[in-house]
Homo-oligomer: A and B are copies of this chain.
């Protein structure tokens, strides 16, 4: 690979001049500029970003740690994060923690070693202190870690209320809620909280099931749901904490001959792209994934540039009523 020296030699100038052209600094005549460009063209020269990063002490890299990009919600989130990062010249290193503590820790070390400019954490299996000692530009999704670290979430409580309220309003008598593991101190737990409070308030019978810590071990979902419906055959309303979980419900309902929405009404959460394609199309609580992604990138950049930023970034949710309610 050609270096700046090769370009300088071919253009008949010094590296300083080439660097000036490259970085638009100081005085450069058009003639020289052209010569340099031509030499770069001829050699197919691309400045070595690694060397630049080393010198500038900025890598223009953002680390993204999520459970897995193959989960539709995180896939969409990652897509938007990369989109907005790219717009402003940042690159994205993806890390799929699979919600494994060891992996998550490894990834954090790795990202620091690689001197990424900031880390977006969408997976949190570690203890609060471990994040606090990080001393690095960070943004978290759905988890409040400390007074300093900014976080992004949707209005989980509001979403939980919307969902539960809709079920009640539609006449459900016994409702269930299926959530991720509640031990992972996520803000998403507020969805469950809203569910509990609202059903209590309205005197409606309710039941909650949660996954084990392997939240994304999708194989457990089916057994959980079948179990739930067996134990409580009179459930007529379900609030699922993600659209994927809702999909399981729809399907199991279909196999058990419970018609949706006639026998059981279902509300999901996220509004992934495929939610509208389910049969019947899923009623769900929409998180503004794109806006949240954009915000995450901005929060990193603001920290890098030492600009002021908001610590709490809670995004409004929206009830998307389709045909499962």
Binding site for B on A (CB under 8 A): 1, 46-51, 53-54, 59, 68-72, 75-76, 78-80, 82-83, 86, 91-96, 103, 109-110, 112-115, 218, 244, 247-248, 250-251, 254, 273-274, 277-281
Tell me whether A50 and B54 are in contact in the complex, defined as CB-CB below 8 angstroms, given that A69-B78, A95-B82, A279-B254 are known contacts.
Answer: yes
* Distance of A321 from chain B, by nearest CB (Å): 16
Whether B47 contacts A113 by the Cβ 8 Å rule is yes
A114 and B61 CA atoms in complex are apart in Å by 11
Whether B69 contacts A79 by the Cβ 8 Å rule is yes
* Distance of A264 from chain B, by nearest CB (Å): 13
Whether A279 contacts B278 by the Cβ 8 Å rule is yes
Whether B274 contacts A274 by the Cβ 8 Å rule is yes
Q: Which residue of B lies closest to A103 (CB)?
A: B86
Chain B residues positioned under 8 Å from A50 (CB to CB): 50, 53-54, 59, 114-115
Whether A70 contacts B279 by the Cβ 8 Å rule is no
Whether B46 contacts A112 by the Cβ 8 Å rule is yes
Tell me whether A279 and B279 are in contact in the complex, defined as CB-CB below 8 angstroms, given that A92-B94, A94-B92 are known contacts.
Answer: yes
* Distance of A22 from chain B, by nearest CB (Å): 12
Whether B113 contacts A94 by the Cβ 8 Å rule is no
A307 and B59 CA atoms in complex are apart in Å by 31
Tell me whether A93 and B96 are in contact in the complex, defined as CB-CB below 8 angstroms, given that A70-B78, A273-B70 are known contacts.
Answer: no
How many protomers of this protein does the assembly include? Answer: 2
A223 and B277 CA atoms in complex are apart in Å by 14
* Distance of A199 from chain B, by nearest CB (Å): 27
User: Which 7 A-B pairs give the minimum distances between C-beta atoms?
Assistant: A70-B79, A75-B75, A70-B76, A247-B277, A49-B113, A279-B279, A46-B113
Q: Which residue of B lies closest to A59 (CB)?
A: B50
Q: Which residue of B lies closest to A92 (CB)?
A: B94
* Distance of A62 from chain B, by nearest CB (Å): 11
Whether B92 contacts A93 by the Cβ 8 Å rule is yes
Whether B49 contacts A78 by the Cβ 8 Å rule is no
Q: Which residue of B lies closest to A135 (CB)?
A: B44
Q: Which residue of B lies closest to A73 (CB)?
A: B70
